[in-house]
Amino acid sequence: MFVLGHLSDPHLGPLPTPRLSELTGKRVLGIINWRRRRRVAHRSEVVDTLVHDLQAARPDHIAVTGDLVNVALDLEFAPARQWLSRLGTPDHVTVVPGNHDVYVRSAVQYPARHWGDYMRGDGVGAAAPHGRPAHFPFVRRRGSVALIGLSTAVPTAWLTATGKLGAEQLMRLADTLDHLRHLGLFRVVLLHHPPTSTMADRLKRLIDEGPFRRVIAEHGAELVIHGHSHVQSMVWLDGPNRPVPVFGVPSASATLHGRRDPAAYNLYRIEGEPGDWRCEAVIRGLHNGHHGVVEIGRQQLNGH
Ligand SMILES: [Fe+2]
Ligand SMILES: [Fe+2]
C-alpha cells in the first residue's frame, strides 16, 4: 500500500514588512486584506497541529497544492522553504505553485528559485541549474504511483485569482498520461485550481478548465487533487473508461471560525494494480466541538 498525504494553501504567516519597491498596487490590496482578515482566519498554530497529525500517519509521500505564501514578497519565500524542510525532504514532498505564490509579475521566478527541488521531475531536476523555472508537467515516480505536477499559477489583475495551464502544458499532459498508463502506474494529477468551477467562481477559476477536462476524459487519470477553493470537495470527472475522482482540501491554516471550511488534510491509501486499483480517501481536520485533529470522513473510490 502507498499512502499519499495531501494538504494545501497554508498561506504561511506572519507577513514580513515589504520593501518600498514591493508595494505595487495589487500587493497593497493583498497586504490590507491580510491585515484585516486573513491573519485572523489563517493561523500558524493550526498548520502546526495539522502537520503534526499528518506526520503521525507516516505517509509515504506528501503533496502540497500551492498558496504557501500570501502576496509573494521576497521575504516570504525563505520561511516557506524552512516550513517545507520541516514537512519533509524534496524527495518526500511534492509542491505545485498557487496564484498567491506568483502574486505579481516580478515574483514569477520566486517559487522555482526557493522551492525548485520540491517541484521538479525525477529525470529533469538533476541537470537543471538552481533558479531555473521548473518544467511543467513534471513527473515523479514513487513505487506504483506517478505524481504529475502542473502549474496553473499566473499573475493576474487586481481582484482576480484565475489560473491557466496553457495549450503547451495541456498537450504535454496528454502525452504524459498516455506514457504513464502504458507503464501501468496509478496516476495522480496535482494542480492548484479546481478543474470544475461555478458561475460564482468566475474571477478565480481555471480559465482552461474545459480543455483540462477534455484531456482527462480522453487520456484518463486515477486521481486529481487540488487546493485554491479553501473548501472540502469531491467531484467526479469523465474518464475514458471510468470516472476520475477529484479532491480539494481546505486551507491547512484555516481556523474553526473562518468563512470557509476549517483546516483539513486528506490521506489517499492506494493499492492494487492496473485495471484493479483501489483507493480510500481519509479526511482528517479540525471539527467544531472537538479538540485537535479528528477524522471527518472516509470514502472508498473503487467500484467506479
Ligand atoms: Fe489559497
Ligand atoms: Fe489560490
Helix (H) or strand (E) holding 168: helix 167-182
Q: How far is the CA of 193 from the centre of ligand 2 (A)?
A: 7
The pLDDT tens digits of the residues spanning 214-244 come to 999 999 999 999 999 999 999 999 999 999 9
Residues 6+ apart with CB under 8 A from 178: 219
What percent of the chain shows pLDDT beyond 70?
Answer: 95
Distance of alpha carbon 98 from alpha carbon 241, whole angstroms: 30
Q: How far is the CA of 251 from the centre of ligand 1 (A)?
A: 6
The predicted model scores a pTM of: 0.95
Locus of grid cell 470557509: 260
Q: How far is the CA of 126 from the centre of ligand 2 (A)?
A: 29
C-alpha cell at 143: 513505487
Q: How far is the CA of 173 from the centre of ligand 1 (A)?
A: 24
Q: How far is the CA of 252 from the centre of ligand 1 (A)?
A: 9
- Say if residue 303's pLDDT is above 90: no
Helix (H) or strand (E) holding 196: none
β-strand partners of 265: 284
Helix (H) or strand (E) holding 216: helix 209-219
In the prediction, which pLDDT does 134 show?
Answer: 55
Residues near ligand 1 ion, CB 5 Å cutoff? 9, 67
The pLDDT tens digits of the residues spanning 138-160 come to 999 999 999 999 999 999 988 89
Distance of alpha carbon 109 from alpha carbon 101, whole angstroms: 10
C-alpha cell at 138: 513534471
In the prediction, which pLDDT does 132 show?
Answer: 45
The pLDDT tens digits of the residues spanning 32-88 come to 888 888 878 899 999 999 999 999 999 999 999 999 999 999 999 999 999 999 999
β-strand partners of 209: none
